Structure 1
Amino acid sequence: MGARSTGREAALQMLFALEAGGNPASRVVATFWRETPGDPEGRAYADEVVHGVAKDLAAVDEAIRKASTNWRLERMARVDRNVLRLGAWELMKHPEVPRAVILDEAVELAKRYGSEESGAFVNGVL
């Protein structure tokens, strides 16, 4: 797995913890890396994603709301919602990364950590 792939996986775990615990992003990131080893490149990308999503959360959530016409963000499964946040933020902030790569990685994370329907749901929204 490449550095961005491992970074995305770590970022998803931190975004999930960030939403569940209500702690600031800096505290969630520090706690996560204290307890979890990570390669420097993957770690740097994960940190960028988590801090970026936290900073741009209103815009990211609004983009997801617009794309998910029949689903309220608050009613989405927590894993799906955070995979969507990760993917939407990357699409907004990293135009140099091919869309197909971002979508594929998000779908794979949704399949790995979400329900049976999560991969298709994330693919449809992103």
Structure 2
Amino acid sequence: MGARSTGREAALQMLFAVEAGGSSAPRVVATFWRETPGDPEGRAYADEVVVGVAEDLAAVDEAIRKASTNWRLERMARVDRNVLRLGAWELMNRPEVPRAVILDEAVELAKRYGSEESGAFVNGVLDRIAENLGRVDRDR
């Protein structure tokens, strides 16, 4: 697993902890790394994502709301919601990362940590977010 992949996995765990525990993103980041080893590149990416999602939460959640017409954000499973936040933030802020990579990584996280339907749900919502943002891979 590459550095960004492990970083995304750590970011998901931290985003989940931020939401579940009500602690600030910087506090969760500091606590997480005291208890969990991580390679420097993956760790830096995870920290950037977690802090970025926290800072841009209103815009990220609005993008998810617009793309998930049949699901209210508050009613989504916590894992799915946080995978979507991670993926939406990347789509909004990391143009150098191909759309397909962001979606594939998010789907894998959803499958690993979510329900049986999570992968398809996350894929559909993130695909709509990418379209709404005009994110098209060059080879598409």
TM-score between the two structures when normalised by the length of structure 2: 0.89
Residue 87 of structure 1: CA displacement? 0.1
Q: Deviations over 1:24-60 (max 9, x none)?
A: 1110000000000000000000000000000000000
Asked which structure has the greater CA Rg, the reply is: 2
Equivalent-residue separation in structure 2 for 1:40 and 1:46 (angstroms): 10
For residue 112 of structure 1, report the CA deviation from its aligned partner: 0.1
Identity of aligned residues (%): 94
Counterparts of 2:63 and 2:21, CA distance in 1 = 24
Following superposition, the deviation at residue 115 of structure 1 comes to 0.3
In structure 1, distance between residues paired with 2:16 and 2:51: 13
For 2:76 and 2:84, how far apart are their aligned partners in 1? 10
CA distance in 2, matches of 1:76, 1:31: 26
Please state how far the C-alpha of 1:11 moved relative to its aligned partner: 0.1
Q: Which residue of 2 aligns with 1:96?
A: 96
Question: Structure 1: 5+ residue runs without aligned partners?
Answer: none
SS at match of 2:116: coil
How far 1:108 sits from its partner (Å)? 0.2
Aligned to 2:70, the other structure's residue is in SS state coil
Q: CA deviation at 1:121?
A: 0.3
The Cα shift of 1:69 comes to: 0.3
Runs of 4+ aligned structure 1 residues displaced above 4 Å come to none
Runs of at least 5 residues in structure 2 that lack an aligned partner in the other structure: 126-140
Shift of 1:107: 0.2
Corresponding residue for 1:86? 86
For residues 95 and 45 of structure 2, what CA distance do their matches in structure 1 show? Answer: 15
1:90 CA drift (Å): 0.1
Deviations 1:55-77 (A, max 9, x none): 00000000000000000000000
Aligned to 2:32: 32
